[in-house]
Structure formats: C-alpha cells, structure tokens
Amino acid sequence: MEYPEYQKDAINVHGYFHSPETPQIHPTVVEVLGDNYASKNFRGVHIDNTVLDDNEVEDKEGIINTGEREKQKAEASAREKSML
C-alpha cells in the first residue's frame, strides 16, 4: 500500500473467512473474491504459460488450451457487457 499507483485500487481486508472486527468495518479476503468487489472495467486477461516450462505436468497442451478458451470467454463477456 506504499505505492500510489496501487493505493487507488487497494482494498483493506481484515480476516480471511470471518472478520475479527465488531462491528465489521472491512471486508474479509473471501468477501473480496465475489462480484461486489470485482473491477467494473475489464483490463484484459493475462495467462503466463511459462510457469509450465520448468515443471513436469500432465496434459500441458490441454492446460494451455483450456486457459485460452477461458480467456476468450472472458473477453467475449466483457465485450457484451460494454455494449449494454
């Protein structure tokens, strides 16, 4: 949170599953994973497939293809929402 470019998008969370605050002021980590905290501006999808390069994984090509399909779905969904 020390860098100004991150401060505008940062969300201060307290607790992972349950808030230690009474009354709750800040969201938990689990809460910020939901739609209420999702960015309203689509920023694109980046999948770094190089993480697979130095590791032995089963069905590497399948993993990459699944990632590409999910990326295309997310981009298509963002385009649809921007037309509303």
Residue with the larger pLDDT of the pair 82 and 21? 21
| pLDDT for residue 63 | 96
Domain boundaries, the chain: 1-38, 43-84
Distance CA 20, CA 9 (A): 23
Those residues whose C-beta lies under 8 Å from the C-beta of residue 49, and which sit 6 or more positions away, are 64, 67
The answer to whether the beta carbons of residues 42 and 30 sit under 8 Å apart is no
Number of neighbouring beta carbons within 10 Å of residue 60? 13
- Model pLDDT for residues 44-65, shown as the tens digit of each residue: 888 999 999 998 999 999 999 9
What's the Cα-to-Cα distance from 74 to each of 37, 48, 65, 77, rounded to whole Å? 17, 16, 14, 5
